[in-house]
Structure 1
Amino acid sequence: MQHGLHGDRKRLSAVRALTLVAVLLLAGCAKPAGTDGDLVNGWAAQPSASYTVPAVGTCVTGGGISAFEPSAAPVTTVDCAQEHTAEVVLVGTFSGPAAAAAAPPAWDSDPSRAAYAECSKAATAYVGADWHTGRLFPWFSLPKEAAWKGGARQYVCGLAEAEDDLFAPKARTGSLKDGLKDPKPLALTCVRLDGSDVSPEGFYRTVEAVTPVGCTEPHDTEFVGTWTAAAGAYPDAKRLNELASDGCYGKIAAFLGLSQLQLYERGDVYTFWTGLTANQWKLGDRVAHCFLNVSSKSKLTASLKDLGTKPLPAA
C-alpha cells in the first residue's frame, strides 16, 4: 500500500504471461502402414474455453483478492452466509472496438478505466454512499486471455471489507449491501497505526500497518475524508507525498473546525494519508484517504470532530 505522514507541519515519510505457445508442425509425413491417419480416433473435439461469471450479490473466496491488483488466480463462488472475501456488485460487458480486440484490455488502458469507473459507481450504489468512505476496497477482474479467445467479454466488479492496511481483505460472513447507510456499520472512522522509527514526540516515521478500530477503542488516527488528485502522470514518491499531504491538510482543518493557519499553530495534530498506488492511478482512481494523526503517546478513545482549539483529550 502507499501512505505518508506529514509531521512538524511539513515533515513527510513515505512507507512503502507467461504465455506458453505450443506449435505442432505436421508436414510431409506419410501415413504409416496399417494406420488410418485419424489422429483423434473419432473422439469428440474439446469444448471452447468457458467463463463462468458470478452474479451480482453473490460472494467469492480465494483468488488472491487485494486492492487494485490484477490477479490470474481463480475464485470460488460461495453463499454470502459462508466465510468469503468479496461480494460482486456489477458484471459488465466490453463492447465496440475493445470487444473486437484479439486480447483483453490491459490494466492501464482506456477500456479498463471506463469499466472501472462503472464498477466504482456500482459499488457506491450498492453500499449506499461513496465506497471510499468505508472500510472497503474494490475487486476488479478482467477476463483471462483463454476465456477472451473463447468469446468472454465480461468484467466483474466486487467489494471486500478491509482489514490491515485498508488494502487487504477481511474474511467475513453476510452481505455488504447498504453497509454505508445509517447506521453505517462499514463506515471508516478511526484506525490504529503500527510502525517503527518513532520520533521523540511519539510519531511513527515508518508506518507498517493501518488497522481500523472503533473510535471508543484506543487509537491515534482518525479518518477525516477523501482527497482526489488531479489527472496526469503518476508523480514520483516525493511529489506524491507533497500533493496528498497538502490536499489532506485542508480536510483535517475542516474536520476539526479550524483554519489551516490554526491547525498549523496547534502542532499536535499531523497529517496521515493512504492510497494512491500506481495500479490504482492506472485505473483512473486518484483518491487518497485522509486522516488526522496524533502522537502514539496520546491514545484517543473518542472522535476529534469539531475539536477546534481545545486541547487533545487526556488518554
Structure 2
Amino acid sequence: MERKRTVIFLVVGILVLCSGMIGLVVKFSGNTRGPVGDGSTLTPRVGTCRNSSEPGTAAGFPETFGGRYAMCTGPHEVETYYVGRVDGSLSDTGADKEIGDTCRAEADKFLGGPLPTGKVATTSYLEENASHLAKRWFSCDIAEVGSTAATTLVSRTGTLRGALAGTGPMLIGCANATTDDFVFLADCATPHTAELAGLYTLREEVVPADGDARDRAVAPGCQKTVTDFLGWDQPTFEDSELIEGTFWGPTAEKVRAGDRVFQCFVTTLGDRKLVGSVRALGPRKVPVVA
C-alpha cells in the first residue's frame, strides 16, 4: 500500500486559510492498491467479506488480497464490492488508472452516494502472478473507517451497500482534527474541531506539477465550498477569528491519474471547540467554547 504523505502549507487572502494561518493538507487514502499472491488460489468474488487482521485487532487494509473470510451478516472489516479484468497490454500506469477510475465509479454506485462523503475507504488488488497476463483480475474492496487516514478499519456487521444513500450514520459530519487526520464523531453534539462542509472536484484541465501547485488550484474552490456551507460571504469568513477551513485530498500524482475529489472542512482556530453544527450558520453566533 502506498505510504501516506502529509503536506503543511501557508496560504493567505482568498485561499482556504487566511490571515497567515497554517493549514493542514493530507492525502486521502482511498483507492490505493496492494499486490496479491497467486491468483489461481485466491480469486475475488463480489459480495464476500473478510477480516483483515488477527482477532481483536483492526489495522489498515491488508497488503495482499486475502484474510479470514467471514459472513457479511457477522463481524468483518473488508467487503469486496467489484471485480473486473484489466487488459494485460496496458502499462502499469495505464492499469493503475483503469483500476482507480473503475473502483471510484463503482464505489459511488455501490454506496448510493459519493465515496468521499462517507466514513469509508477503499483499496484495490491486482493479480500479479497469473499464468496468463492477457487479462488479470482486479478487486475493489471497501471498509468502514474511523478517520480520513483510514489506518484503522472498523469491525462491522452487514453490507455497506447503499450506506450513503439519503441520510444516515455513515455520512461524515463532525470530527476532531489532528496534525495529520480527521477523526470521525457519531454526531455534532460532542465538542469537536472540524465539520465536513462538502466536496470540491478539481477541473479536468488542471494538471498540477507538484503539491504546491495542487494546493493553489484546490484552495479557492474549497474555500467557496466552506463559505457556502456556512452561509457567509468572503469578507465575513476572512474576518473570523474563530473558524477557518482546510482540505484533505489526493496527491498531485493521484490527481494526474484521475482522482480529483477533495474534502473541504470547517475547522476551529486555537484550542476552541464547536458544540454544534455550523451548517447554514449565517449571522448567528459561532457555537464555540474555549
Verify same fold: TM over 0.5. yes
2:114 counterpart of 1:124? no
Inter-CA distance 117–52: structure 2 relative to 1 (3 Å threshold) = same
For the Cα contact (< 8 Å) 2:222–2:247, is it kept in 1?
yes
Q: Which residue of 2 aligns with 1:177?
A: 161
Q: Which residue of 2 aligns with 1:160?
A: 143
2: CA distance between counterparts of 1:221 and 1:276?
A: 19
2: CA distance between counterparts of 1:76 and 1:234?
A: 40
1: CA distance between counterparts of 2:135 and 2:74?
A: 28
1:104-124 residue CA offsets vs partner (Å, 9 max, x unmatched): 752xx2333223222222211
For the Cα contact (< 8 Å) 1:91–1:157, is it kept in 2?
yes
For the Cα contact (< 8 Å) 2:51–2:78, is it kept in 1?
yes
Q: Percent identity?
A: 22
Q: Which residue of 2 aligns with 1:142?
A: 126
Q: Which residue of 1 aligns with 2:72?
A: 80
For the Cα contact (< 8 Å) 1:85–1:169, is it kept in 2?
no
2:239 counterpart of 1:265? yes
Cα offset, 1:142, TM superposition: 1.3
Q: Which residue of 2 aligns with 1:291?
A: 265
Cα offset, 1:14, TM superposition: 4.6
2:37 counterpart of 1:59? no
Letter in structure 1 aligned against 2:124 = F
| SS across alignment from 2:188 | coil
Q: Which residue of 1 aligns with 2:196?
A: 223
1: CA distance between counterparts of 2:127 and 2:39?
A: 12
Larger radius of gyration: 1
1: CA distance between counterparts of 2:252 and 2:155?
A: 28
Structure 1 residue runs without a partner (length 5+): 17-47, 195-206
For the Cα contact (< 8 Å) 2:111–2:160, is it kept in 1?
yes
Cα offset, 1:254, TM superposition: 0.4
Structure 2 residue runs without a partner (length 5+): 10-15, 27-37, 54-58
2: CA distance between counterparts of 1:237 and 1:150?
A: 35
1:245-268 residue CA offsets vs partner (Å, 9 max, x unmatched): 222100001001122233223343
**RMSD, aligned CA:** 2.9
For the Cα contact (< 8 Å) 2:119–2:147, is it kept in 1?
no
Q: Which residue of 2 aligns with 1:33?
A: none
2: CA distance between counterparts of 1:185 and 1:51?
A: 37
Q: Which residue of 2 aligns with 1:201?
A: none
TM-score (normalised: structure 2): 0.77
How do residues 244-255 of structure 1 correspond to structure 2 at under 5 angstroms?
244-255=218-229
Q: Which residue of 1 aligns with 2:283?
A: 309
